[in-house]
Structure 1
Amino acid sequence: MDNIAGKKAGLTWAIHISVVVLVALWLFPTLGLFVSSFRTADQISGSGWWAALSTQERQLPAARLAGDEVIIDGRYVISGELFPNTSALVSAWGISAREPEANVPGDTVALEGEVRLLIDEEGRFVLSGPDSFEGQRLPRVFSTAAAPPEFTLANYERVLFTGTADAGVGNALLNTATVAIPATVIPILIAAFAAYALAWMDFPGRALLVALVVALLVVPLQLALIPLLQLHNTIGIGKGYIGTWLAHTGFGMPLAIYLLRNYMVGLPRDIIESAKVDGATDFQVFTKIVLPLSFPALAAFAIFQFLWTWNDLLVALVFLGTDDRTLVLTGRLVNLMGSRGGDWEILATSAFVSIAVPLVVFFTMQRYLVRGLLAGSVK
């Protein structure tokens, strides 16, 4: 009696908890990447993304005093700002690396030879002494500052609208779209015709072709890369977008045909037979009946194929090369990791840009995903 249809399973709570955990494991890193893409380099290096809205205490780089010298009341005075390009507020300071927090803002510290140094909370300093400082090496100041939350769009401006020499990925983004969109559309167009033929047209060897399609699903992609590149060079298309489109089409075709064929087989036979009785040709049945009804399966495969081609690195490197003019987004990110490993704000922004488009595609078409994947599973 425990398996009566309609009765909830005893472990429903475990399923719900598992779903929540999986969603959290996916959501938190994505949210962290999104938040980090708007933070400055100092903020990222000083705290994690979860502390982005709080004030951060951090050790600022040592700054050597500098400025123009003036005479005030018989004393030589140099004034200025320690950190003119930051809004951080100084919470402690010192003139020795061993005691970087020896003083608080507003303290006047006596140095050698009746020299006095005053630093306020905003990092403004006043250095005064009885003798001229010309030719002398002014002291360095070590400070700890409280930095308020800071967000900027400069990361995206730098990533999207600057050249590749300055960490720009705009050209790589266009290259990736140039590869991914045709490499998604072409196999769908071809596989839809093939799937209809395998599902609703009678011809010798149909079952053998279906078995061949299933067998091709397990062929490793890496096994065919070099022979396929040699074939492209032989027929004259070499390295370029056409060869990349054809490669992605060939690698994606077995899954597309298998998925679409299973869905089309499950369509009501009466509708198709009625259309043929009314005189419709196979092409008319395919374009006016089968294709519109197969949209969930088409969308499901489009999601998989687009995500695969958008995130691909291996096929793009083999068939496009590593030239900056044709380098795709994943290849550009690899170069950024190697040459700009310390620019975390640039890496975070570039990485989020690379996943933003697939996220939009997935959430736009995800309602068709389950319907397309379950096609043909129940008769």
Structure 2
Amino acid sequence: MSGTERTPSPAAAGAPRPASARSVSATLAAGALALRVFLILAGLFWLLPTIGLLISSFLSPAGLNEGGWWETLTAPSRLTSDNYERLLANETITGSLLNTVAIAVPATLLVLTLGAFAGYAFAWLDFPGRDWLFLIVVGLLVVPVQVALIPVSELFGTIGLFETTAGVVLFHTAFGLPFAVFLLRNFFAEIPRELLEAARLDGAGELRLFTRVVLPLGGPAIASLGIFQFLWVWNDMLVALVFADSARPPITVALQQQVRQFGNNIDVLAPGAFLSMVVPLVVFFAFQRQFVSGVMAGAIK
């Protein structure tokens, strides 16, 4: 045998794997199985009430009072579209849907725009006090919304923004920015420095560098942030109760106003709640590919 020949490794010779490797594989397999079971149970936990809400939205008030949506599984003839016809004829509900869009869309776009600029600045620009300012931004993440309701209400009342759509948008933007800056700054910081330096050598300024290089690479993270921000604003009720105009409420407040003293206006609540749930679902499934890419990007870097 010559001295240059190698002794075959145990793996190449077909030797069994060590016990530690088998235990790691078994642990990973058990974890994957537990995750699948959890996702299935969570999906069923979410799906069953959703199906009930959908069926209830097609039941007449008499059918809802007699037994509920589960009895329609054996009596589908009791389903009707009258609830949606009355809902679309209800100017309060239709107007509240438009008001919710007028709040959620600007609040999401402002958070994405300002958060992207600030995240890039904290990640790649050198300016005095950058680290201290970023620590302040991170500290703002722990400030609860409830703490700011009274002082911000007084401030908005002084400057004329109380019970206005602009006031609600500004409040959501202010409380969404710390998380947006924190998330995007960490994502932008993972971009290779050599790529940015090459763009600068080609004559790209900071704005061109941000729009042509950083934003395309940060698209998944920005899309994920946009989904979260839109869902938070769309489903919000506390801020809308405090700051929104009571005559032009968002959908969450408008549905709450349908709760009567001696009963619920279920023929309006059921279809209205289902419509308010459909819009976030459409947004999520429309951007689910970018959302998954943004979530996985942090795992593979």
**TM-score tier after normalising by the smaller chain length:** 0.7 to 0.9
Q: CA deviation at 1:345?
A: 2.8
What's the TM-score, normalizing by structure 2? 0.86
Structure 1 residues 98-177: aligned runs within 5 Å: 149-164=77-92, 169-177=93-101
CA deviation map 1:302-355 (0-9, x unaligned): 1111111111112122222422xx111111111112358344232211111111
Q: Distance in 2 between matches of 1:340 and 1:273?
A: 68
Which residue number corresponds to residue 358 of structure 1? 280
Secondary structure, counterpart of 1:285 in structure 2? helix
Structure 1 residues 170-185: aligned runs within 5 Å: 170-185=94-109
Q: Distance in 2 between matches of 1:5 and 1:183?
A: 49
Paired residue type of 1:212: I
CA deviation map 1:146-179 (0-9, x unaligned): xx62222211111122234xxxx11111111111
Q: Distance in 1 between matches of 2:68 and 2:220?
A: 41
Q: Which of 41, 66, 72 is residue 21 of structure 1 equivalent to? A: 41
**1:332 is aligned to 2:249:** no
Q: Distance in 2 between matches of 1:5 and 1:291?
A: 42
Paired residue type of 1:332: A
Alignment check: 8 A CA contact 1:259 1:373 kept: no
Which residue number corresponds to residue 371 of structure 1? 293
Moved more, 243-252 or 5-14: 5-14
In the alignment, structure 1 segments of 5+ residues that lack a partner are 56-147
Moved more, 251-260 or 366-375: 366-375
| Structure with a larger share of its residues in strand | 1
Q: CA deviation at 1:370?
A: 3.8
Which residue number corresponds to residue 111 of structure 2? 187
Alignment check: 8 A CA contact 1:53 1:149 kept: no
In the alignment, structure 2 segments of 5+ residues that lack a partner are 1-18
Which residue number corresponds to residue 206 of structure 1? 130
The structure with more radius of gyration: 1
Q: Distance in 1 between matches of 2:73 and 2:162?
A: 51
CA deviation map 1:34-82 (0-9, x unaligned): 1211122232233343432413xxxxxxxxxxxxxxxxxxxxxxxxxxx
Alignment check: 8 A CA contact 1:266 1:375 kept: no
Change (3 A) 1:6 1:285: farther
Q: Distance in 2 between matches of 1:344 and 1:175?
A: 22
Q: Distance in 2 between matches of 1:46 and 1:299?
A: 45
| Structure with a larger share of its residues in helix | 2
CA deviation map 1:85-119 (0-9, x unaligned): xxxxxxxxxxxxxxxxxxxxxxxxxxxxxxxxxxx
Which residue number corresponds to residue 39 of structure 1? 59
Change (3 A) 1:46 1:238: closer
Q: Distance in 2 between matches of 1:23 and 1:363?
A: 15
Secondary structure, counterpart of 2:142 in structure 1? coil
Q: Distance in 2 between matches of 1:266 and 1:374?
A: 14
Alignment check: 8 A CA contact 1:156 1:349 kept: yes
Q: Distance in 2 between matches of 1:243 and 1:33?
A: 32
Which residue number corresponds to residue 140 of structure 2? 216
> Which aligned segments of 4 or more residues in structure 1 are displaced greater than 6 angstroms?
none
Paired residue type of 2:135: A
Q: CA deviation at 1:2?
A: 3.9
**1:7 is aligned to 2:30:** no
Q: CA deviation at 1:359?
A: 1.0
Alignment check: 8 A CA contact 1:262 1:375 kept: no
Q: CA deviation at 1:195?
A: 0.4
Q: Distance in 2 between matches of 1:36 and 1:216?
A: 42
Q: Distance in 2 between matches of 1:4 and 1:269?
A: 39
**1:242 is aligned to 2:146:** no
What's the TM-score, normalizing by structure 1? 0.69
Alignment check: 8 A CA contact 1:263 1:372 kept: no
Which residue number corresponds to residue 276 of structure 1? 200
Which residue number corresponds to residue 9 of structure 2? none
**Higher RCO (CA 8 Å, separation ≥ 6 residues):** 2
Change (3 A) 1:321 1:180: same
Q: Distance in 2 between matches of 1:158 and 1:203?
A: 58
Percent identity (aligned): 44
Residues paired across the two proteins, number: 281
